Amino acid sequence: MTRQTSLFAGALFSLIAAPAVAQDPVEQGAPNAGFEPAFENQTRAPAMDSGVTLTASEFSGELVHPWGIDALPNGGWLVTERPGRMRVMSEDGTLSDPIEGLPEVLAERQGGLLDVKVGPDFAEDRMIYWTYAKPMENGESATAAARGVLSEDRTEVTEVEDIFVQSPSSPSPMHYGSRIVFDGEGHAFITTGEHFTQEEREFAQDLDTTYGKVVRVALDGTVPEGNPYTGEARSDAARQVWSYGHRNVQGAAIHPETGQLWTIEHGPAGGDELNRIEPGTNYGWPVISYGVNYNGNEVGTGDAVQDGMAQPRYYWDPVIAPGDMVFYDGEMFGDWQGDLLIASLSPGGIVRLSLDGDTVTGEERFMMGERRIRDIAVAPDGALLALWDDPNGAVLRMTPEEMSN
């Protein structure tokens, strides 16, 4: 039975309605690093306060570290749990038994079953896609993306095959990425991490590995024409690379109007980044960063700007520890159209950014410090569905308070 017990009764969230923009940024504490932004509003954009009260209730509970959510065309959602389970969540929040047929995952530290997406041709082929920590030889693992056919009764997947496996495998079960999104032209973008260690982070700059990259493959895993590193002398890994120099990209979304890929990634102590992704572009990690290492030492060159390396469109210091993000498209909060809603794991909550083109014009935060939010989806009625990442996690439904009365 679905539990609708309110978790945050009476909580005040400033979500959007002709927001007033102040000159001061959101209150967030002192930065870890002392860098000056490269351009106006690259960080600490003016705070927005819209004064709307939102009620968050538990829509579907008893989930263990839920990680990814995506809507099914005929109603309901697919939801993943990091230990290795995928379930169907019905329109009223009821959870199915785990779907059968999924591959084994390495459910250690940050590894496990991660993102899930309904394929762009699901109406014809019933194909779904997911990412996971794939167990490899010698106890190692790799970020992988797979696909399979979801049965008509939505109880199992068949014809399972990997369409991407990160190379090389890693002994560190950390920094997997790993979102998957579709560009509407027969391609999948898959994000990866660089597995965290001091030695492996250097691979983010190495085109012959898929550490710290955005890769682009066709839906069957083959390398499409137009990838930037497809010359005859290139390795198989390099042919998959779309962009590089990333740390740990756990959020990705296609802009609904421009079709542009945007990503969001974890920095170290400071330096979480929102990036507009261009093919063949180097985003700097671990040479430059707007953060510092956890021990306080400089990252790479100690600089935040270097020729030949792209600047983030926005960064945070201190961090928000971003999960996934979504460009809002719905009727419940009509003034949000095109705004970014970002899941925050630490301090936890939701961050909203307004954009003018590719420039952030304002920031607003909700539920900060309340819950670790891993992913956000928009329900058909425009409400928010947020994944609370916790051993006793849940899907939270967020609506204006007056709608819950």
Residue that the structure tokens 């102040």 belong to: 22
CA dihedral 220, 226, 230, 232 (to 10 degrees): 110
Under 8 Å CB-to-CB from 154, ≥6 apart: which residues?
72, 76, 88, 96, 99
The DSSP letter of residue 231 is S
Q: Give, for 122, the enclosing helix (H) or strand (E).
A: helix 122-125
Which entry of 65, 175, 195, 246 is annotated as an active-site residue?
175
In terms of DSSP bridges, do strands 359-366 and 349-356 run parallel, antiparallel, or are they unpaired? antiparallel
Q: Phi/psi of residue 68, each to 5°?
A: -135, 150
Q: Which two tokens stand for residue 157?
A: 């997947």
**CA 171 to each of CA 117, 197, 250, 285: distance values in angstroms, whole numbers, following the listed order:** 27, 10, 20, 20
Instruction: Give yes or no: 255 in active site.
Output: no
Are 315 and 271 contacting, i.e. CB atoms less than 8 angstroms apart? yes
d(CA 116, CA 30): 36
Are 148 and 157 contacting, i.e. CB atoms less than 8 angstroms apart? yes
Q: Which of 314, 322, 328 is CA-nearest to residue 349? A: 322
| Angle in degrees, CA 329, 384, 180, rounded to 5 | 70
d(CA 340, CA 357): 12
Are 282 and 310 contacting, i.e. CB atoms less than 8 angstroms apart? yes
Catalytic residues: 175
